[in-house]
Structure 1
């Protein structure tokens, strides 16, 4: 006959969280369960697990003189009180207390109101009994009656006033108490709506067997959905040094229907949502397309630059120096960065409490200080303005993941931006806004059409574009990079020749990490997108007319169209 197991029922939310590892689309929670096991078979029942538990994700590890046999997770019926989170339980208890106080105030008000009503009835009855209609010319009132009546009036006036004053005080107290009750009811309704209360909960049954009584520790590990983290950055550029400080944040969202109280956090770049299975490759067959089947149209996207607000002076002014600043507060950073084979983990220094319903809990991952090169860039065909850009190489060991960034120039907010993936040792740039001291004018293009050829007639379209640039700053020269389209031929019958300026062609074979990370220098070159990048040095209070000229040759009977592809 099988022995009856010893049951140990525990609330899962009461078990200490030893670690929460947050991925981009979920989280792994590790709870420490301490239990006193009896001799024989024991069943540890963890009640009220979150309903966002990922199926099949729970595993149990343990320490102690026992053997783990199996772990079963199942749904069980539950009442509202059983599925309450600690926060909801506290609010519900406070609500019951406040409702009890409100009821006591109602009872006091009822007693005082009845006292006032009864006093008014007695006053009417006594007055009617003392004052009688005169008979045979006699008056029923005598000196004794008048004295009694006066005493009664004094009694009525004093007590009636006192009772009504108490009633007004109780009514005011009732209004205040009712507002407290309504506030708690609203708070409870909001939290319950976030938790999406269900009539069932999940519990885990862990079966263990031990030969003698012992104390055991179980690490219960499970994954939950509706949680994740994303990177964000504060980029602060100081033009006087120059320097670039990048504060790397992790923004955590938590909608798991459980609270993480005092949880040590680890942010992981692993992507368990992608799985570990290599995708299979089918057979690609080439067949003729039916002539009646219309070819799918290719989507074209045009980029339109959004004019940005002009910033204040980018390099400060000659005004009197400000008073010495107070020492800056230090920012807590990640205590440990672990590089794994397929991911990076950031262990956060301090424990955090993140309740359900949190959308933006920000923790600091690290702070990186770089030495940027300040250059100016302009794309005059899109926006005739010069943008100050900080170009720097990521010399840290941290890989910057794609995320939103807030850019500050000389402690002044410039704009919201987006930082792309940047690996250690890779160069990246950050726009700091429009520099109004650099003037850019995109003049109308001059276009010519020529025809030639003795045997094979061909047409030549000549485009000459002038870009006027001026440095109105009087104290220092600037490097300005002009980015402009030069058509790329997709057919051997179309030939494109750049006449001016003389540019270095892009060579993918010779392109190395060193050349890609090189600082901008004077000269013209083609980038990997076949766009012209022309960098010129503008001396203070000088201007130039920059002429970009190219020729497109093609057969006479053909028409060339231009499409911007990304």
Structure 2
């Protein structure tokens, strides 16, 4: 009976106070480059007056200043606090939670005592069985049988065993009731790991004022830095006289502690800025600085750049084991950024692993040409030029290139250009060859009394081993003078287009299948005889 009184008291603790524990559900996520805006909802019953709602399944990290709450009813939000350690920060100051916690401890103690009592009864039954077995053995070994004693022993054994089994049965029934109550209390506190997302430690403590007892829905929106994405593309080429099949992709990862389960995803360029203060110019005062101090700053800056390049190199070589998914996407552009809205729900686990999402496809007309700079590289590159590329909503990112289904490499799509044409390097074509050779008999150096005169002559040949006609843009260069006592004269260019500011020569060569063409460039340099040039 005492156990039942305690059980009724513990059950009453479930009804104590006006605290409500609930779990937030993720509805949509807007992922920026290094930040995500998560939208979640809760729906719970609240009494009349002020109540406190403890919301689980909130990101492990969030920007508290970005929290926005939108109740659906006439209820008013009084305050909101974020915590990742609710037990330590709030349990000691909350009477309702303390009562529940005390009840859990008392029930756990009672269950332990019941287990001890049951174990004692089981040991007693075991002892009775051993004594009975000992008596039976002694009678079978010729010891005189005491019939009245045997009858008393059997009666005692049966009576005692039934009594102990009845007690064990009652203990099991009591324990079932206590365990059931204990589970309800634990669920009230949301401490059961099966009922709570193990990865999420974030909670929102919402104080809410309601004019009546009702069911309240609250929308929750906030920013977290534990998610990111970057754009990637596939350039699928079948023929150089057909448009490129452009595939938009998003590589997204998150470790917010909450699962994005079947949620609407949006991928946005840039990052939201919590401090949108426009810059203001102030007076620019010139003053002298120590030259050694300035040099130390320059060295420090150079070291930082080298470290950054090393980090980028390491990141670039990382192999991503992506999961790839195909979804339909809407592309939106406003005054500040570009966003890609996934038209179907999507699931991203909170494990930090990259998920490769296929967003959309587009047919992109392009003009193809071959490009070669044999002074720097003996390979011939296939280039694609895309006009009006702003129509394709490009963001800067890597592109994987396939030609007729074969992977040929990567290129960078960078839409941040002044040019009206986007230039894409598709890859090297082994079926087009280029060779740059010095013509020895036309290359010489002559020594005069006050100056030296050097002549350089090169032949550049290009061969088309393909079965289609191609156009090759060929480039070479000649040096430019940095001093009045250095003069350069072009002797031969084979009708190249001459960019005199850069010293770059350009030829456009139309080659039929299996055709070879050759151009020649020759220049003369006159310079002071006692000086050495960086030839």
Deviation at 1:250, TM superposition (A): 0.7
Inter-CA distance 486–281: structure 2 relative to 1 (3 Å threshold): farther
Matched, 1:439 2:427: no
Deviation at 1:25, TM superposition (A): 0.7
Aligned position for 2:366:
372
What does residue range 482-561 of structure 1 map to in structure 2 within 5 Å? Answer: 482-489=474-481, 496-501=488-493, 524-526=497-499, 531-552=504-525, 554=527, 558-561=531-534
Deviation at 1:378, TM superposition (A): 1.6
Deviation at 1:223, TM superposition (A): 1.5
Deviation at 1:242, TM superposition (A): 1.9
Inter-CA distance 48–406: structure 2 relative to 1 (3 Å threshold): closer
The separation in 1 between residues aligned to 2:249 and 2:510, in whole angstroms, is 37
**Is 2:199–2:258's contact at 8 Å kept on the other side of the alignment?**
no
Inter-CA distance 499–340: structure 2 relative to 1 (3 Å threshold): farther
Structure 1 residue corresponding to 2:381, chosen from 381, 387, 392: 387
Partner SS state of residue 38, structure 2: strand
Residues 394-413 of structure 1 deviation map (CA, whole Å, 9 limit, x = unaligned):
55623222222221112222
Aligned position for 1:406:
400
The separation in 2 between residues aligned to 1:346 and 1:221, in whole angstroms, is 19
Inter-CA distance 35–482: structure 2 relative to 1 (3 Å threshold): same
- Calculate the aligned-residue CA RMSD, in Å: 4.4
Aligned position for 2:473:
481
Deviates more, 1:542-551 or 1:218-227: 542-551
Inter-CA distance 273–359: structure 2 relative to 1 (3 Å threshold): farther
The separation in 2 between residues aligned to 1:288 and 1:204, in whole angstroms, is 52
Aligned position for 1:190:
none
Inter-CA distance 398–10: structure 2 relative to 1 (3 Å threshold): farther
The separation in 2 between residues aligned to 1:250 and 1:267, in whole angstroms, is 8
Aligned position for 1:349:
343
Aligned position for 2:51:
42
Deviation at 1:78, TM superposition (A): 4.9
Partner SS state of residue 57, structure 1: strand
What does residue range 87-236 of structure 1 map to in structure 2 within 5 Å? Answer: 201-236=201-236
The separation in 1 between residues aligned to 2:47 and 2:17, in whole angstroms, is 7
Matched, 1:31 2:40: yes
**Is 2:24–2:57's contact at 8 Å kept on the other side of the alignment?**
no
Q: Give the length in aligned residue pairs.
A: 397
Partner SS state of residue 397, structure 1: helix
The separation in 1 between residues aligned to 2:204 and 2:49, in whole angstroms, is 20
Partner SS state of residue 516, structure 2: strand
The separation in 2 between residues aligned to 1:342 and 1:72, in whole angstroms, is 31
The separation in 1 between residues aligned to 2:18 and 2:525, in whole angstroms, is 85
Residues 322-361 of structure 1 deviation map (CA, whole Å, 9 limit, x = unaligned):
xxxxxxxx96431x22212211111111111111114222
The separation in 2 between residues aligned to 1:239 and 1:526, in whole angstroms, is 33
Partner SS state of residue 474, structure 2: strand
Partner SS state of residue 270, structure 2: coil
Inter-CA distance 34–554: structure 2 relative to 1 (3 Å threshold): farther
Structure 1 residue corresponding to 2:462, chosen from 464, 469, 489: 469
Partner SS state of residue 487, structure 1: coil
**Is 2:231–2:398's contact at 8 Å kept on the other side of the alignment?**
yes
Inter-CA distance 59–391: structure 2 relative to 1 (3 Å threshold): same
The separation in 2 between residues aligned to 1:15 and 1:337, in whole angstroms, is 29
Structure 1 residue corresponding to 2:67, chosen from 55, 58, 66: 58
Deviation at 1:463, TM superposition (A): 3.0
Deviation at 1:440, TM superposition (A): 1.4
Inter-CA distance 6–386: structure 2 relative to 1 (3 Å threshold): same
User: Structure 2 regions of 5+ residues with no counterpart?
Assistant: 1-15, 89-136, 142-196, 307-324
Partner SS state of residue 393, structure 2: coil
Structure 1 residue corresponding to 2:412, chosen from 418, 422, 434: 418
Matched, 1:338 2:332: yes
The separation in 2 between residues aligned to 1:530 and 1:249, in whole angstroms, is 40
**Is 1:23–1:228's contact at 8 Å kept on the other side of the alignment?**
yes
Residues 372-405 of structure 1 deviation map (CA, whole Å, 9 limit, x = unaligned):
2221112212332222233332556232222222
* TM-score computed with the length of structure 1 as normaliser: 0.59
What does residue range 301-340 of structure 1 map to in structure 2 within 5 Å? Answer: 332-334=327-329, 336-340=330-334
**Is 1:266–1:347's contact at 8 Å kept on the other side of the alignment?**
yes
